[in-house]
Structure 1
Amino acid sequence: MLLKSFFALLTLTSVALAADSRPNIVFFLVDDLGQRDIGCYGSTFYETPNVDRLAKEGARFTDAYAACPVCSPTRAAVQTGRWPQRTGITDYIGAPMKPGLWTRNTKLLPASYSDRLAHEEVTMAEMLKAAGYATFFAGKWHLGPEGWWPENQGYDHNLGGVDRGGPYGRGKYFVPYDNPRLPDGPEGEHLPDRLATEANKFIEASKDKPFFAFFSFYSVHTPLQSRPDLEKKYEEKRNRLGLKAEWGKEDTREVRLVQELPVYAGMVEAMDLAVGKVLAKLDELGLAENTLVIFTSDNGGLSTSEGSPTSNLPLRGGKGWMYEGGIREPLVIRWPAVVKPGRVVDTPVSSPDYFATAMELAQGKTTSQVDGLSLLPVLRGGSLPERPLYWHYPHYGNQGGAPGAAVREGDWKLIEWYEDGKRELFNLREDIGETDDVARAHPDKVAALAAKLEAWRKDVGALMPTPNLAYDPAKPSGRLPGAGQAKKKKKK
């Protein structure tokens, strides 16, 4: 708690330095949104005119990544600017926390992980608040139990941020929310729209000083539930286009190959409408020119489990997987005062970079090591130094993925599977779908990337899975394997 007191004192001395010319920051984090779920990234079934507008008016990143293929670790990385392994949050909070709690018949026991973002971690909100920003959080938190919620981590306001990973009240995405940090609205109220309304109230009240609004959607996470009018709209669109579900295989998992599910399309559009509502408020108040808007996701689209509502093609796999469909994200950044409209950026970036960007922007400070790099040089038309990006997921995902790690450097990506030590190598420029494992043809590249991955694991204190002495190969597997080539598609 001494660290919290330090930031409280730092606030008193830093507020006087806050200049009205510093940009406001609005951060949209969408849950389970795949890169290809957005029109400006190629979707022709889902309709996202407001996010597409952001891309036209700002910069669209083609090679942006989540720090983990599941949500809580990525969220911890966004909040702290640090690799998830440093925070201890390496799996979604709610999974079995310790190897002794694991009951599935798998070759490995997953590593332990922390179920809360420690108070000692410096969050983006704490850093910005100390720099003189008003801070606001709306939506999904999923970074710890009560006492570790947004209001305990530097946010002046918290509307809806609790321990839950989804909208699991009686009404789900509609009233009643049964959320202790979000009072119910009128009957029929829709959660994405309500959260946008709350964000706009904060923006209106804070317009005369620098502000930071973190809008963390519960959408488009399960449960699959759309506004009825939007679901009907996409049912008619699907029929008009003659679309039908098509399925392939990722090992033993079925993977959706076509975006055509009306309920999910309705959820995507409702998310986009909420983004548009906040953008309209910035326009109305004359704040858009000097507001940095960041739009991204926490992991890839859900394509192999829980209804498999979307397709990530041409990206392979989806949420829970080390393949591109599980970690490559949409990222759109708009700041009209600085960023030229319509830019397309192919620089690989990752979740920890947002903290570093906000810190440079706000002239903020932190006492923690920051793993990310500020994206301001790229936004201003320059470049970043070349660097590898890393992933380490020592767990079995609900979506079929297996314990493993990955590193990307330049066009090359190495995946290492912990069950058998197999290493796969892909050239993403030539093979974005990761269909051609070229590890045998490039043993030197495999060795070099593997050495960097091992050094990084040691640096961040990564915990490893351990052998499961109770594993019985004669019994049904407790997981669906994560390493194997996608099979030819079939119709269903």
Structure 2
Amino acid sequence: MKFQSFEITVWRGPVWSLVLACLGVANVMSQDATAAEETRPPNVVVFLVDDLGYMDIGANNENCFYETPNVDALAKSGVRFTDGYAANPVCSPTRYSLMTGKYPTRVDATNFFSGKRGGKFAPAPLNDHMPLKETTIAQAVKSKGYATFFAGKWHLGESEEYYPQNRGFDVNIGGHRIGGPYTGKRYFAPFENPQMAVESPAGDHLPDRLARDTAKFIADNKDQPFFAYLSFYSVHTPLMGRPDLVEKYKAKAASIAGEEFGDEEQIFGDKPRRVRVLQKHAVYAAMVEAMDEAVGKVLQQLKTSGVEDNTIVIFTSDNGGLSTSEGSPTSNLPLRGGKGWVYEGGIREPWIIRYPGITTAGSVCDEPICSIDLFPTVAAAAGVLVQHPIDGRDLLPVLKGGSLDRTALFWHYPHYSNQGGIPAGAIREGDWKLIERYEDGSVQLYNLREDVGEQNDIASRHPERVQEMRERLHAWYKTVDAKFLQKKPGSPEPWRP
């Protein structure tokens, strides 16, 4: 708060004393207001995009077919992570990790809710909700006086007691049990979403609706700390784009030549599986750009409300791009695989963080981070003392240009994904990544610095490293009480670590 300077010409006496007294009060008020501004914790805005691949934004891919100017500008104003991960190659488990700071394996939330596809073996037991005993990041910051807001996809429980409004969020716009915009006219109004109290006018576009609601929340709560979590349904199937944008990208795609698909490993089923190797899908491109426009609308509201300089902004995704099924709309190359796979294409995500006063604009970091790190990072910024066990780390040292004291990251996916992915576990230590397949216990080893596409399995050349990494992975399995593939009637016993 600033006070305008001025001059007063008066006579000395009782009135002069009163003027001095009033000026003294004003000075105290000014000091108190300045102190309040300095001690107010930062606001937090989280953008979570569904199914967005690492290579789907221009900031990560100079040859990106999709246009993402707002996300790219966000990257230039903060730090962009080249080695940021999701805790799982599909949605619900990663969403659990973002909310709790824990590996989803700890509560057997290891597949999307409720994905129970089998293959040669039956999948591991699946818990299909985020347990009510868990402390969410919304509950944590709410204890510090934050206003809390959720919009979009939730997918963390089948019934209302598990919905955002009962997990620490003051406002819930659209978050409920399903994993996509499957009610009403999908991405276009009427949405008929049971958690939208006010329906949109016919033809309204879902990402824009969610952005408007988020912007309104920011405007209404600019005078207090707030936590806004915009969890897009985009760019998840069904593949539906705004007509003007679809036409734009059809014209753009017409000038791009080359083979769009390549062969992919077949894990189950009898239909040949193909993987997209060229970004050229006009409808998907339209969905990506509409998401980017929605991000821009929220970022503009931060400026308009005068809170941009005291707001942490985090942008990420829940799993890799959809490249091997359901229309295979995007390519993750040079990353191998995609959603549903523990290869880099399924778990490496866009990660951008802007923390005013902490991050350096336009910086790039190759420190491996993960969705388990969101909870402790936001909690620390909000002044929350986390007193229960979590797996994630506060990223503040990395945001300041340092590193984390963390030996490894782990993945556990004991399921046959809808996208053809392999039931497998993985561990990353430094540049090294080991994958362990659960059907037969075979392993693959890659050096990601030299081979980010995971094309050259060098396990046979490094037997000691393989043994050491497997031992650490198996020790982690025990720590998180990991479950594995189950025997099917008439099938052999599945492998066990």
TM-score (ref. length: structure 1): 0.89
Counterpart of 2:396, as a letter, is L
Note the C-alpha offset of 1:216: 0.2
* 2:122 alignment partner in structure 1: 109
* 1:181 alignment partner in structure 2: 195
The 2-side partners of 1:469 and 1:449 are apart by: 33
* 2:12 alignment partner in structure 1: none
Larger radius of gyration: 2
1:237 and 2:257 matched:
no
1:206 and 2:221 matched:
yes
Q: 1:454 aligns with which of 459, 471, 474?
A: 474
Where do 5+ consecutive residues of structure 1 fail to align? 1-16, 97-101, 473-492
* 1:425 alignment partner in structure 2: 445
The 1-side partners of 2:348 and 2:301 are apart by: 30
Judge which range, 333-342 or 192-201, deviates more: 333-342
The 2-side partners of 1:426 and 1:290 are apart by: 41
Instruction: Give the 5 Å matches for 1:79-478.
Output: 79-96=99-116, 104=118, 106-145=119-158, 146-182=160-196, 183-242=198-257, 245-251=260-266, 252-471=272-491
Note the C-alpha offset of 1:290: 1.3
1:74 and 2:104 matched:
no
Offset from partner CA, 1:348-391 (integer Å, 9 cap, x none): 01111010101111111344311000111111122211420000
The 1-side partners of 2:85 and 2:289 are apart by: 23
SS state at 1:55 partner? helix
1:62 and 2:77 matched:
no
SS state at 2:285 partner? helix
* 1:32 alignment partner in structure 2: 51
Question: Does the 8 Å contact 1:243/1:260 carry over to 2?
Answer: no
* 1:485 alignment partner in structure 2: none
Note the C-alpha offset of 1:44: 2.5
TM-score (ref. length: structure 2): 0.88
The 1-side partners of 2:107 and 2:177 are apart by: 17
SS state at 1:281 partner? helix
Where do 5+ consecutive residues of structure 2 fail to align? 1-35, 267-271, 493-497
Counterpart of 1:112, as a letter, is P
Percentage identity across paired residues of the two chains: 55
SS state at 1:436 partner? coil
Note the C-alpha offset of 1:91: 0.7
Question: Does the 8 Å contact 1:71/1:299 carry over to 2?
Answer: yes
The 2-side partners of 1:175 and 1:286 are apart by: 32
Counterpart of 1:189, as a letter, is D
The 2-side partners of 1:358 and 1:387 are apart by: 22
Offset from partner CA, 1:185-231 (integer Å, 9 cap, x none): 11110000000000011101110111000000000000000000000
The 2-side partners of 1:157 and 1:170 are apart by: 22
Question: Does the 8 Å contact 1:61/1:347 carry over to 2?
Answer: yes
* 2:23 alignment partner in structure 1: none
Structure 1 runs, 4 residues or longer, greater than 6 Å off:
none
Counterpart of 1:136, as a letter, is F
Question: Does the 8 Å contact 2:376/2:386 carry over to 1?
Answer: no
Offset from partner CA, 1:314-351 (integer Å, 9 cap, x none): 00000000100000000011123221101000000111
Offset from partner CA, 1:60-107 (integer Å, 9 cap, x none): 0000000000000000000000000113311100223xxxxx6x5x32
Question: Does the 8 Å contact 2:259/2:277 carry over to 1?
Answer: no
Over aligned residue pairs, what C-alpha RMSD do you find?
1.6
Question: Does the 8 Å contact 1:60/1:345 carry over to 2?
Answer: yes
Counterpart of 2:236, as a letter, is H
Note the C-alpha offset of 1:463: 1.2
Instruction: Rate the CA distance shift 1:452–1:261 in 2: closer, same or farther, 3 A.
Output: same
Counterpart of 2:419, as a letter, is Q
Counterpart of 1:157, as a letter, is V
Aligned length: 450
Question: Does the 8 Å contact 1:18/1:131 carry over to 2?
Answer: no
Note the C-alpha offset of 1:470: 3.1
The 2-side partners of 1:464 and 1:44 are apart by: 38
The 2-side partners of 1:41 and 1:50 are apart by: 13
Instruction: Rate the CA distance shift 1:447–1:71 in 2: closer, same or farther, 3 A.
Output: same
Question: Does the 8 Å contact 2:184/2:193 carry over to 1?
Answer: no
